[in-house]
Structure 1
Amino acid sequence: MAEEQADPLAAWTARLLGLGTGISPEDADAFVRDLYAHAQSDLDEERAEADFVREE
């Protein structure tokens, strides 16, 4: 049976927490997930625009 894949964002959350004190693990996790979602949305928009330009 294949091993379960680890959460790829967990490493980024750990890195953020390692930068210093003052942020809770929950807030760090929420920040990383929100940042990832926004970055993914931006990439999706760029891809859609590039596809549109290619089709013209």
Structure 2
Amino acid sequence: MSNLLYVMAVVLMAFWAFGFFVYNVGSIIHILLIIAVIVFLLRIISGKRV
């Protein structure tokens, strides 16, 4: 399950980077970034190794 969270975080960060540099769509991209960072931090804090 934690591996899935890590993949989701990476995908959301990739979407944010793509949207920010190419389209600059607005606040929805920044919300995705915040969600990705939260998921990534939860992965680090949980400390579970696969």
Shorter chain as normaliser: what TM range? 0.3 to 0.5
Question: Structure 2 length normalisation: TM-score?
Answer: 0.46
Q: Which has the higher contact order (CA 8 A, sep 6+)?
A: 2
- Decide which structure has the larger Cα Rg and report it: 1
- Which structure features the higher share of helix residues? 2
